[in-house]
Chains A and B, each alone.
Chain A
Amino acid sequence: MAESGPAIACRGVWKSYRIYHQRSHTLKEKILSRRNLYEDFWALRGIDLEVHRGTTMGIIGTNGSGKSTLLKTMARILTPNRGSLEVHGRMSPLLELGTGFHPELTGRENVYLGSSLLGQSRKQVDARYDEIVDFAGIESFMDSPVKNYSSGMYARLAFAVAISVDPEILLVDEVLSVGDEGFQVRCHQRMAELRENGATVVVVSHSLATVRALCSQVAWIDAGTVRCVGPAGEVVGNYLDSVHEGLLPTEAANGDTDRTGGRALTGAACVLDVSVRTVHGQPATSIHTGDAITISILATAPEALHDVSCGIAIHRGDDSTLVFGQNTHEADCPVVIDGDTRIEFAIHHLPLRPGAHTLTVALHDHRVNTIYDWHDKRYALLVRSDSGRTGAGAVHIDGDWRVAPATPVQAASA
Chain B
Amino acid sequence: MAPAVGTGRWLAAGRELLAARELTLNLVRRDLKVRHRGTFLGMLWSLTTPLLIVGLYYFIFTFILRTSPAVDHPRPDGQNVPFAVYFFCGLTLWNLFANSVGASTDSVVGAAYLLHKVYFPRAILPMATVGSATVTFAFELSVLVVITTLTVGLPSLHILWVPLIVVIVVVLAFGLSLLLSAVTVFLRDVSHFVGVAMQLWFWGTPIIYSLQYVGDRGAFIKLLQLNPMTGCVVAFRNVVLLNRAPDYRLLAYDAVAAVIALGAGAWVFGRWQKVFSEVV
Is there an interface contact between A93 and B23, defined as CB atoms closer than 8 Å? no
A254 at the interface (CB under 8 A from B): no
Q: Is B34 an interface residue (CB 8 A)?
A: yes
Distance between Cα atoms of A114 and B26 in the complex (Å)? 10
By the criterion CB–CB under 8 Å, are B30 and A113 in contact? yes
Q: Does B187 contact A (CB under 8 A)?
A: yes
Q: Is the CB of B119 within 8 A of A85?
A: no
Whether the Cβ atoms of B1 and A86 lie closer than 8 Å is yes
Q: Mark A262-292, 1 if CB is under 8 A from B, else 0.
A: 0000000000000000000000000000000
Q: How far is the CA of A122 from the CA of B116 in the complex (A)?
A: 23
User: Interface stretch among A73-81, A150-158, A297-305, A354-362?
Assistant: A73-81
Number of contact residues on B: which range applies?
A: 20 to 34
A117 and B23 in contact, given A77-B115, A102-B30, A104-B33 (Cβ under 8 angstroms): yes
Contact segment of A22-30, A230-238, A317-325: A22-30
Q: A116–B26 contact, CB under 8 A?
A: yes
Q: Are B187 and A105 in contact (CB under 8 A)?
A: no
Q: Is B22 an interface residue (CB 8 A)?
A: yes
B120 touches A117 (CB 8 A): yes
The reply on B92 being an interface residue by CB < 8 A is no
Q: Is B22's CB under 8 angstroms from A122's CB?
A: yes
B76 close to chain A: CB less than 8 A: no
Q: Interface readout for A115-155 with B: 1 if CB under 8 Å, 0 if not?
A: 01110011000000000000000000000010000000000
Contact with B along A299-336 (1 / 0, CB 8 A): 00000000000000000000000000000000000000
Contact A87 B34 (CB under 8 A): no
Q: Given the complex of chains A and B, what is the CA–CA distance between A25 and B116 in angstroms?
A: 19
B21 shortest CB reach to chain A, Å: 10
A79, B37: Cβ atoms closer than 8 Å: no
A5 CB to nearest chain B CB (Å):
14
CB < 8 Å: which of B23, B27, B37, B117 contacts A77? B117
B118, CB-defined interface residue at 8 Å:
yes
Interface size in chain A (residues, C-beta < 8 A): 34
Structural contact, A77 and B119, CB atoms closer than 8 A: yes
Minimum Cβ distance to chain A for residue B194 (Å) = 13
Instruction: Take A85-B1, A100-B118, A105-B30 as given contacts and tell me if A78 and B38 are in contact as well, using a CB distance cutoff of 8 Å.
Output: no
A78-B278, A105-B34 given; A99·B118 CB < 8 A? yes
What is the CA–CA distance of A30 and B118 in the complex, to the nearest angstrom?
30
Interface residues of A in 51-104 (CB under 8 A from B): 75-79, 84-87, 91, 93, 95-96, 99-100, 102, 104
| A141, chain B: closest CB distance, angstroms | 16
Q: Does A109 contact B (CB under 8 A)?
A: yes
Contact B26 A77 (CB under 8 A): no
User: CA–CA, A30 to B27, complex, Å?
Assistant: 33
B60 → A minimal CB distance (Å) = 35
**Is B189 an interface residue when CB atoms closer than 8 A count as contact?**
yes
Taking a contact as CB atoms under 8 Å apart, the answer to whether A112 and B26 are in contact is yes
**Other-chain residue from A26, A75, A85 in contact with B118 (beta carbon distance below 8 A):** A75
B114-A78 in contact (CB<8A):
no
- Given A17-B278, A75-B118, 5 more A-B residue pairs with CB atoms under 8 Å apart are A27-B187, A77-B115, A77-B118, A105-B34, A117-B118
